[in-house]
Amino acid sequence: RAAHEGILRRQSARESAARTYARALPIVPVRARGLTIEGADGRRYLDCLSGAGTLALGHNHPVVLEAIRKVLDSGAPLHVLDLATPVKDAFTTELFRTLPPEFAARARVQFCGPAGTDAVEAAFKLVRAATGRAGMLAFTGAYHGMTAGALEASGGATEVRVARLPYPQDYRCPFGIGGERGAELAARWTESLLDDTKSGVPRPAGMILEPVQGEGGVIPAPDDWMRRMREITAARSIPLIADEVQTGVGRTGAFWAVEHSGITPDVMVLSKAIGGSLPLAVVVYRDDLDVWQPGAHAGTFRGNQLAMAAGTATLAYVRENGLAERAATLGSRMLTQLRRLAEEFPCIGDVRGRGLMIGVELVDPESAPDTTTDGPRPAAPELAAAVQRECLRRGLIVELGGRRASVVRLLPPLTISDEQATAVLDRLADAVATVAT
């Protein structure tokens, strides 16, 4: 207990003001397995943050540990820049095996710096080089990372070379109608911006989208809208970049979230779960976009052998054990139960998600709805923060997200059992009940 308090105190004094999770989650993890984290104070938690969706197999899954140990014990080098190795060969083979077949058939992979944001930068650089154009299309509420280019494309950023387009959603629809019509209007908006010759907006180098916005508040894009984006970009020779950093590796109930709509993007940006808990990021793209000269994209840490080995084990395990399908069935059951909870508690404005990427939006039950009909009530970030605190007291770790930090997010490992899922929902329901009264 004293060690726990000491570590928290020292770190909060020494770390930057930009600390995020560490503020809301004052715990000191010392051990972890599967869904469970144990703190230095001996308390145990169910971890539905999962390294912001990284831990597809949960903490310290035996197959991941074994893969890492095997490399360590083999005497293989741990760091070799971008040289070819058996470990890299195995990873690339497994990755290509999981990719949508039409995409994999003509795919090239570039290993990037360790984080998702590095792969986003690489994707932007690639499509700019391939098209000779500069602008980028991105969506309201998007999150692509914290380096300059990725940040520019993320919601709330000062737009420099990025044109912002409406991302469709039912709840808080930018056009106030939601559903298919709302999504169609969002698509038309995009079309008219691209075809508006009078405004002189130059044709962009690419469009980047998340099949489900994660940090933006768990907003799944409708499949029809995804297909419309594919048609609109294809008809104008604009490369489409699917950012599957968070949605990939079974999370949404398909191995890759683009499979739900059946589209084939030109570029895919992958990170988080592909490294099986360790840092790894790649950009994968169609071969005709491979216009780079040798050295055009580099980076010291492109060759993390441990991450590749852990990643190979994770990808293979998800594929062989049908964990994407498992995420789909368990996810829809959890959504149903959460929707029942929403009927009971008016402070839950919306429940949404796809697979095991789930969001519960907290709203102010006292305020009048935003619009004349039964539109959404104002977002309640303070209620969401209170739910997060109450969850923590009950031994449940959840993340907050959304444009106004009013969405409680669940990103459990795909290996979560039915009993554990029930425990998660019970604790969350209990936390909501406490906050609501």
Q: Shortest distance, CB of residue 429 to ligand PMP, whole angstroms?
A: 27
Q: Shortest distance, CB of residue 385 to ligand PMP, whole angstroms?
A: 19
Residue (194 or 308) nearer to ligand PMP, CB:
308
Residue (131 or 246) nearer to ligand PMP, CB:
246
Torsion of CA 339, 344, 346, 350, to 10 degrees: 0
Residue (115 or 289) nearer to ligand PMP, CB:
115
Q: Shortest distance, CB of residue 118 to ligand PMP, whole angstroms?
A: 7
> What are 376's two structure tokens?
């959404």
Q: Shortest distance, CB of residue 244 to ligand PMP, whole angstroms?
A: 8
User: What residues contact 254, with CB distance under 8 A and at least 6 apart?
Assistant: 260, 324, 328, 355
Residue (243 or 350) nearer to ligand PMP, CB:
243
**Contact indicator for 244, 283 with CB cutoff of 8 Å:** no
Residue (252 or 264) nearer to ligand PMP, CB:
252
Q: Shortest distance, CB of residue 173 to ligand PMP, whole angstroms?
A: 21
Q: Shortest distance, CB of residue 247 to ligand PMP, whole angstroms?
A: 7
Residue (154 or 415) nearer to ligand PMP, CB:
154
Residue (52 or 342) nearer to ligand PMP, CB:
52
Residue least distant from ligand PMP (Cβ): 116
Q: Return d(Cα 437, Cα 378) in angstroms, integer.
A: 19
Residue (333 or 404) nearer to ligand PMP, CB:
404
Q: Shortest distance, CB of residue 235 to ligand PMP, whole angstroms?
A: 26
Q: State the SS3 of the chain.
A: CHHHHHHHHHHHHHCCCCCCHHHHCCCCEEEEEECEEEECCCCEEEECCHHHHCCCCCECCHHHHHHHHHHHHHCCCCCCCCCCCHHHHHHHHHHHHHCCHHHHCCEEEEECCCCHHHHHHHHHHHHHHHHCCCCEEEECCCCCCCCHHHHHCCCCCCCCCEEEECCCCCCCCCCCCCHHHHHHHHHHHHHHHHHCCCCCCCCCCEEEECCEECCCCCEECCHHHHHHHHHHHHHCCCCEEEECCCCCCCCCCCCCCHHHHCCCCCEEEECHHHHCCCCCCEEEEEHHHCCCCCCCCCCCCCCCHHHHHHHHHHHHHHHHCCHHHHHHHHHHHHHHHHHHHHHHCCCEEEEEEECCEEEEEEECCCCCCCCCCCCCCCECHHHHHHHHHHHHHCCEECEEECCCCCEEEECCCCCCCHHHHHHHHHHHHHHHHHHHC
Residue (204 or 275) nearer to ligand PMP, CB:
275
Residue (285 or 347) nearer to ligand PMP, CB:
285
Q: Shortest distance, CB of residue 272 to ligand PMP, whole angstroms?
A: 6
Residue (271 or 305) nearer to ligand PMP, CB:
271
Give the C-alpha distances (Å, rounded to integers) separating 211 from 22, 169, 225, 273, 311: 28, 12, 10, 16, 22
Q: Shortest distance, CB of residue 343 to ligand PMP, whole angstroms?
A: 30
- The binding site for ligand PMP (CB under 6 A) comprises 52, 115-117, 120, 143-145, 210, 214-215, 243, 245-246, 271
**Contact indicator for 226, 291 with CB cutoff of 8 Å:** no
Q: Shortest distance, CB of residue 281 to ligand PMP, whole angstroms?
A: 7
> What are 334's two structure tokens?
């959890």
Q: Shortest distance, CB of residue 246 to ligand PMP, whole angstroms?
A: 4
